[in-house]
Chain A
Amino acid sequence: DAKTTQPTSMDCAEGRAANLPCNHSTISGNEYVYWYRQIHSQGPQYIIHGLKNNETNEMASLIITEDRKSSTLILPHATLRDTAVYYCIVRVAWNNAGNMLTFGGGTRLMVKP
C-alpha cells in the first residue's frame, strides 16, 4: 500500500472548516483513500473513502486531486468534539494478502473555542 504523509498537528477554530491535507504521491490506480479518526484512545472511527471522485457524507467531504497524489478531508463546521487524531490511509480494494489498514502517525487536530 502507498505511503501517506500528513502534518503532525493542526489547529482549527470552532465553527470554521477544518481542512486536513494528505500526500500520497505514490498511490496506484487501484488504491483507495480512506480517512479514519481516533478520539482520545477510543476505537478508530471511519469517516469517508474515495477513489478519484470527490465524496461527501454526513461527516465530511473528501477532495482528491486530479492526479490523485494528494487529498484533503474537510470538516465543514468543526466542533470541539472533532478534536482527534485523523488518519489518512491508502489501500487497495482487493488484496490477496489481506484487508488490513496501515495506520501512520496521523494529524492531531485541535479544535479551539
Chain B
Amino acid sequence: DSGVTQTPKHLITATGQRVTLRCSPRSGDLSVYWYQQSLDQGLQFLIQYYNGEERAKGNILERFSAQQFPDLHSELNLSSLELGDSALYFCASSATTGGTDTQYFGPGTRLTVL
C-alpha cells in the first residue's frame, strides 16, 4: 500500500460524457501527478500540481483538466469522452517537486468509455 488513494476503482461511461477522478496523496506530500496508461501509448504523464498550483503539463488533452484543492487532494476531469480515452489513470504523489523525490503511485482508476 503506497498511501495514495484513488476513487473510483472502475468507471464505465458513454461517449460524450464527463467524469471526475479523485486522488488523495500520501500524508504530507505536496505534489500530485496524473498519468494515463493506454494499451497503445504506455504510461504517459498528463499533469503535475504542487501545493495547489499547476507545475508541469504533459500530453494532456484540452478536454481534460485537473486541480489540486487546499487539502491537497486532486481531481482529474475528463469531458466529451471518446472511445480512445479508455485507459488506466494513475495518480502519484511526492513530498516536494524535485530533488530525488520518490513518486508513489495509487492503484489507479480504470475508465471504460462505451
Q: Determine the interface band of chain B, counting residues with CB < 8 A from chain A.
A: 20 to 34
Q: Are A49 and B100 in contact (CB under 8 A)?
A: yes
Secondary structure of the A side of the interface? loop
**A94 contacts which chain B residues (CB < 8 A)?**
98-99
**B106 contacts which chain A residues (CB < 8 A)?**
43
Secondary structure of the B side of the interface? strand
**A49 contacts which chain B residues (CB < 8 A)?**
100, 102
The segment from A2-10, A62-70, A75-83, A97-105 found at the interface with B is A97-105
Shortest distance between the CB of A77 and any CB in chain B (Å): 23
Q: Are A100 and B45 in contact (CB under 8 A)?
A: yes
Instruction: Count chain B CB atoms within 10 A of each CB in A38, A93, A98 and give the residue with the most.
Output: A98
Given the interface contacts A99-B56, A101-B45, does A93 sit within 8 Å of B105 by beta carbon? no
Q: Are A44 and B43 in contact (CB under 8 A)?
A: yes
Q: Are B42 and A103 in contact (CB under 8 A)?
A: yes
Shortest distance between the CB of B45 and any CB in chain A (Å): 4
Whether B24 is near chain A, meaning CB under 8 Å from some CB there, is no
Residue of A whose beta carbon sits closest to that of B94: A99
**A95 contacts which chain B residues (CB < 8 A)?**
98
Shortest distance between the CB of B74 and any CB in chain A (Å): 15
Q: Are A93 and B107 in contact (CB under 8 A)?
A: no
Report A's interface with B, CB cutoff 8 A. 32, 38, 41-46, 49, 87, 93-95, 97-105
Interface CB pairs A-B, < 8 A, 12: A43-B2, A43-B92, A43-B108, A44-B90, A49-B100, A98-B56, A98-B57, A99-B97, A99-B103, A100-B58, A101-B35, A101-B92
Other contacts beyond A99-B101, A100-B58: 16, CB < 8 A: A42-B107, A43-B92, A44-B105, A46-B102, A46-B103, A49-B100, A93-B98, A97-B56, A98-B57, A99-B33, A99-B48, A99-B55, A101-B35, A101-B92, A103-B43, A105-B42
